[in-house]
Structure 1
Amino acid sequence: MRNRRTALRLGAALTFGFGAGAASAQTVASQDADLIKRGEYLATAGDCVACHTAPGGKPFAGNYVLNTPIGKIRTPNLTPDKETGLGNWSADDFYRAFHEGITKDGSYLYPAFPFAWYTKVTRADADAIFAYLKSLPAVHEPRKDSEIPFPFNIRTALITWRTAFFTAGEFQPDPQASAEVNRGGYLVEGLGHCGMCHNANKIVGNSGLAGKLGGGVIDGWYAPNITPDDHTGIGAWSDDQVVTYLKTGAAPGNLPGVAAGPMRQTIEESLSKMTDADLKAMVAYLRTQKAKESYKSKDLQAFNAAGAPGAATYLSYCSSCHKPDGKGVEGAIPALAGNTSVQAKGPETVIRVILGGLSAQNGYAPMPAIGAGMTDQEVADVTDYVRNAWGNTAPVIGERGIVATARKATETMLAGSAPCAEIAQLEIAKAIAESGAPQKLKGLAQEDFIPVINTLLPPIKAAVPDAKGDDIVNGLTTAFCQAGRNDPAYEKLAWHAVIGSFSSIVYSQMKNPEVRASKDGAMPTP
């Protein structure tokens, strides 16, 4: 779940006359505000907004579709609307759902709602989350029907799952562990519900299976091993690297590369807004877990990188940025050689990034959706290559159709498989509009990318001097998508290549504004 709130009912007793009553009211208001603020932080730690906000919908109004092994489940409205949300719920109702997985009407909740983790949250924290949710603007948003086939649509059948896998109970601190480790355990095992994605073996919603935190597939992405294993986990990372990664999605030294997919969303909406003390506590707790090998290098299939078909594909599509030796460009292009995320047990995340690209983040250049122009076999070959070249070791792809399945599920603006986004930062959207970009980017020939971008960047940067370079790059890329996506001039070109080239040039000109357009308008190397 991803949100919070509670209404405190405080009586007003005028024992000492009007003045005392006014002071009491102020105290009550202050207590309410403090409770709501604490609930907001806790709901952020639980990343409630991610699952309870549909694309283009109002925050916490629900109808986000969760793709689960038993079907598509649409999430409920958590705003205080009385007809469609939590308006008629009490704090007791909310705690029962949070702690036991039983809704207000007494029916069982599907374990897609992570109550198997949230049961560990204290009553005081659950009340604070409820208080926060009750303070939100009410949104009238009826919940749409889920798409769950028989017999899984019979909620009473969930008693079997609950009996086998679920035990209610708040987090119990380890008396032998430090306060920091216990705080981290409370967050990792409770609100953070990290095992929901990172457990190796999952039966929907079970938080206690073997393979705990050893990595696993979630919604077509691979959530890596986060145990202290040196090769496939975080054992080779320093504490500072892990904390920085959790806070920003990247880490010093290029060791883990950059976050993508659901992890990037979790960082943006949740982890980046948590205190450094809580992030350090989570890392301290992870360090206490038993190291698990996702796979043993000696058991891997022999792989001759030099003669692999993916080598030629890599040189053609990838080496200009990531370099022939896979070391990338420090601070601009993540290294693939030695990258622990690249060497995860599952290839899903590498495949999805190749197919969908990545927007700019943490000072790193955007990655074009190069896989949109490859065949499925080329994507599979180059995935195996980067996961096993330059000293990397990882299992080769054994599942036929994995790339085709990933391609169908990959919907991004850079790949041309999703609508153009909206610019998230209002001040940047305003600066881009005032720069004349919507008009100047229409009908833009590729050889004019650099000169036009160079006329747009100075006024935009002057209008928002404190804006992150990443946000300006992504904002201008979005503006270009809106201006050119349906332009007949690009009909004979691969749109993913056009927008990828534009985005990369914006990044280059942000970093190196002195670069001028070449005669053929070729994309400069960041």
Structure 2
Amino acid sequence: MTRLTALGSGWLAIAALLSVGTAHAQEADADLIKRGAYLATAGDCTACHTKAGGKFMAGNFKLDTPIGAIKTPNLTPDDETGIGKWSYETFEKAFRHGIGDEGEYLYPAFPFGWYTKVSDEDTKAIFAYLKSLPPVKEKREENEIPFLFNVRTALITWRTAFFTAERFKPDPNASAEVNRGGYLVEGLGHCGMCHNERKLVGNSSLAGRFGGGVIDGWYAPNITPDGHQGIGAWSDEEVVAYLKTGTAPGNRPGVAAGPMRQTIEESLSKMTDADLRAMVAYLRTIPAKQTYKEKDLQAFNQPGAPGADTYLTYCSSCHRPDGKGVEGAIPALAGNTSIQSRGPETIINVIVGGLAAQSGYAPMPAIGQEMTDEQIKNVTDYIRNSWGNKAPVVSETGVVASARQKIKTMMAGNAPCSTIDDDKLKASVEQATGGDALKGLKPNDFVPVLSRVAPQVKAAAPEAGDDAVVNGLLSAFCKANRSDRDAEPLPWSATIGSFGNVAYSQVKNPEKRVDAAPGQPPASGASSPKP
């Protein structure tokens, strides 16, 4: 071998080693990004940093807080409007210490009081993931916070009282599973952000830990092991199933709604079963807490109770006179833990705004649109204190009026029609409806049209699932008919509610013909709907 050949062979060997090293580095980076994606999901970053109809993680989601509306920042790596020029040190200071890139204090609406417990390794993985996202140029909109709350230097008082920068400390006497659950619940999961009684106190012993409380107009329930108000009577499997799907198997009624529904869809449902079980194991170690004493509940005379007639008129055809619902189709109200929380906000919001189809359950009409505020208050008290249920009666003046003002949904008729995100499902709905098959459709024609259309859509997009098919048909019906504000012969909320229930029936049981949609409220002078 000549000297030149030897030198060439040496360079080839070095090049090969460098190539292998680069491949290993790229593989390590890919693993880090993948891990960061999972951790960002566990932290539910999408919920607050992606606005409805906006680009992924580009911010400008509106957070309603007690001090005003906060617009969230862009987390994509855009150099001008995002975190493109941020170093890891800058990110870490914001993520775990609540100090922005210009040295400003961040509002505690950003859960750095919980993220401070996240490990160095996980923080680096999250940063790597965010840096890997496609950059989106979207300037952050101005917050809607009045003076003096918009003076960030004043936040030093809150920080001094309630914030301590510290990492999660495993309990040496607890199992590895419990410690993993504690790390997720107290850190990335920031469960106390919603479920603590006093939100602005932060992650501290003063916050009424996990006892439940109001968040953005919804009531986040007690998740301590209390047997009546919390999860004490639930099995581990039931709690895990609820966290993953929004419903629980067996005799645990109810479905997730509001912010919890979004958290399940965008975060908890994408976590591993092992991590969900660990979170439940940790919550079992929290001291049980009662947010109200049963002895302090007001007497509730069920036979002549206000709200009984309203329930029988508007609710009993679906949820049944005994509150047991229809298994697998209509959730039970009797024994429903979430209904018996201290606060009535969630049930009032659902009555006012309705629900889309989810977890195999039929969509719920925004039945409250046809009720007076007094009827909603009374029926809420009736539901929360019948069939063995026990909960405080509605005492806050204006809580129903506040819900009417805040809750905006397609089902209520005060929000835009929902969109169909699945392109294949969208095409299937458009093809089956022929573009105008739903236009001007009246309740008497719901069954014959949907008995033809619903099976076609389901057959053309089987992977979408029944819930998505029902909601897709609801969206199409809304877009075809929303301009008809009179919605004869029923008001809009009753019309779309009836359509949704017939659509559900035909998707679930395509051979079945029904005379009226379950849960359809009667029009003026009409008889009660058939069950």
Whether these two folds match at TM > 0.5 is yes
The alpha-carbon distance between structure 1 residues 488 and 265, as it changes in their structure 2 partners (threshold 3 A), is closer
Deviation at 1:426, TM superposition (A): 2.2
Name the CA distance, whole Å, in 1 between partners of 2:108 and 2:499: 43
Scaled by the length of structure 1, the TM-score of the pair is: 0.95
Name the CA distance, whole Å, in 1 between partners of 2:479 and 2:505: 21
Query: SS of the residue aligned with 1:490?
Result: coil
The alpha-carbon distance between structure 1 residues 254 and 365, as it changes in their structure 2 partners (threshold 3 A), is farther
Deviation at 1:517, TM superposition (A): 5.4
2:170 counterpart letter in structure 1: P
1:40-89 per-position Cα deviation (integer Å, ceiling 9, x unaligned):
00000011011011222111111111111111111100000000000010
Query: SS of the residue aligned with 2:462?
Result: coil
| Equivalent position of 1:264 in the other structure | 261
Map residues 296-375 of structure 1 onto 2, 5 A cutoff: 296-375=293-372
Residue from 34, 58, 65 that aligns with 2:62: 65
The alpha-carbon distance between structure 1 residues 517 and 315, as it changes in their structure 2 partners (threshold 3 A), is closer
1:284 counterpart letter in structure 2: A
1:302-344 per-position Cα deviation (integer Å, ceiling 9, x unaligned):
1112111200000000000100011111111111111111100
Name the CA distance, whole Å, in 1 between partners of 2:15 and 2:518: 76
Name the CA distance, whole Å, in 2 between partners of 1:298 and 1:384: 17
Judge which range, 333-342 or 489-498, deviates more: 489-498
2:362 counterpart letter in structure 1: A
Q: Would you say 1:448 and 2:445 are equivalent positions?
A: yes
Q: Would you say 1:51 and 2:48 are equivalent positions?
A: yes
Deviation at 1:466, TM superposition (A): 2.7
| Equivalent position of 2:230 in the other structure | 233
Residue from 252, 269, 274 that aligns with 2:271: 274
Judge which range, 433-442 or 329-338, deviates more: 433-442
Deviation at 1:436, TM superposition (A): 3.0
Map residues 474-513 of structure 1 onto 2, 5 A cutoff: 474-487=471-484, 490=487, 493-513=490-510
| Equivalent position of 1:195 in the other structure | 192
Residue from 77, 81, 85 that aligns with 2:82: 85
Deviation at 1:417, TM superposition (A): 1.3
| Equivalent position of 2:525 in the other structure | none
1:304 counterpart letter in structure 2: N
Deviation at 1:253, TM superposition (A): 2.5
Residue from 87, 100, 105 that aligns with 1:103: 100
| Equivalent position of 1:387 in the other structure | 384
Judge which range, 233-242 or 482-491, deviates more: 482-491
1:138 counterpart letter in structure 2: P
Judge which range, 280-289 or 426-435, deviates more: 426-435
State whether residues 438 and 479 of structure 1, in contact with CA within 8 Å, keep that contact through their aligned partners in structure 2.
no
Name the CA distance, whole Å, in 1 between partners of 2:183 and 2:119: 10
Residue from 168, 172, 178 that aligns with 1:175: 172
| Equivalent position of 1:461 in the other structure | 458
Q: Would you say 1:141 and 2:125 are equivalent positions?
A: no
Q: Would you say 1:211 and 2:230 are equivalent positions?
A: no
The alpha-carbon distance between structure 1 residues 278 and 484, as it changes in their structure 2 partners (threshold 3 A), is same
Name the CA distance, whole Å, in 2 between partners of 1:429 and 1:311: 41
The alpha-carbon distance between structure 1 residues 83 and 310, as it changes in their structure 2 partners (threshold 3 A), is same
Deviation at 1:15, TM superposition (A): 10
State whether residues 111 and 204 of structure 1, in contact with CA within 8 Å, keep that contact through their aligned partners in structure 2.
no
Name the CA distance, whole Å, in 2 between partners of 1:429 and 1:254: 35
Name the CA distance, whole Å, in 2 between partners of 1:439 and 1:453: 13
Aligned length: 513
Deviation at 1:458, TM superposition (A): 2.5
The alpha-carbon distance between structure 1 residues 133 and 243, as it changes in their structure 2 partners (threshold 3 A), is same
Name the CA distance, whole Å, in 1 between partners of 2:49 and 2:18: 39
The alpha-carbon distance between structure 1 residues 211 and 521, as it changes in their structure 2 partners (threshold 3 A), is closer
The alpha-carbon distance between structure 1 residues 375 and 125, as it changes in their structure 2 partners (threshold 3 A), is same
Name the CA distance, whole Å, in 2 between partners of 1:358 and 1:497: 13
| Equivalent position of 2:405 in the other structure | 408
| Equivalent position of 1:20 in the other structure | 17
1:346-365 per-position Cα deviation (integer Å, ceiling 9, x unaligned):
00001001001111111111
| Equivalent position of 2:4 in the other structure | none
1:392-443 per-position Cα deviation (integer Å, ceiling 9, x unaligned):
1100011111000011010111111110010122221121122235321111
The alpha-carbon distance between structure 1 residues 35 and 399, as it changes in their structure 2 partners (threshold 3 A), is same
Query: SS of the residue aligned with 1:305?
Result: coil
Deviation at 1:492, TM superposition (A): 6.1
2:416 counterpart letter in structure 1: P
The alpha-carbon distance between structure 1 residues 38 and 439, as it changes in their structure 2 partners (threshold 3 A), is same
Query: SS of the residue aligned with 2:199?
Result: coil
Name the CA distance, whole Å, in 2 between partners of 1:227 and 1:174: 19
Name the CA distance, whole Å, in 2 between partners of 1:272 and 1:260: 14
Name the CA distance, whole Å, in 2 between partners of 1:466 and 1:151: 52
State whether residues 469 and 510 of structure 1, in contact with CA within 8 Å, keep that contact through their aligned partners in structure 2.
yes
1:130 counterpart letter in structure 2: F
Judge which range, 253-262 or 150-159, deviates more: 253-262
Greater Rg by CA = 2
Scaled by the length of structure 2, the TM-score of the pair is: 0.94
Judge which range, 335-344 or 200-209, deviates more: 200-209
State whether residues 365 and 519 of structure 2, in contact with CA within 8 Å, keep that contact through their aligned partners in structure 1.
no
Name the CA distance, whole Å, in 2 between partners of 1:396 and 1:297: 12
5+ unaligned residues in a row in structure 2: which ranges? 1-10, 521-528
| Equivalent position of 2:221 in the other structure | 224
Name the CA distance, whole Å, in 1 between partners of 2:516 and 2:251: 34
The alpha-carbon distance between structure 1 residues 301 and 163, as it changes in their structure 2 partners (threshold 3 A), is same
Judge which range, 467-476 or 200-209, deviates more: 200-209
Name the CA distance, whole Å, in 2 between partners of 1:525 and 1:475: 25
Deviation at 1:512, TM superposition (A): 2.3
Deviation at 1:29, TM superposition (A): 1.0
Name the CA distance, whole Å, in 2 between partners of 1:450 and 1:331: 21
2:305 counterpart letter in structure 1: A
Name the CA distance, whole Å, in 2 between partners of 1:519 and 1:284: 45
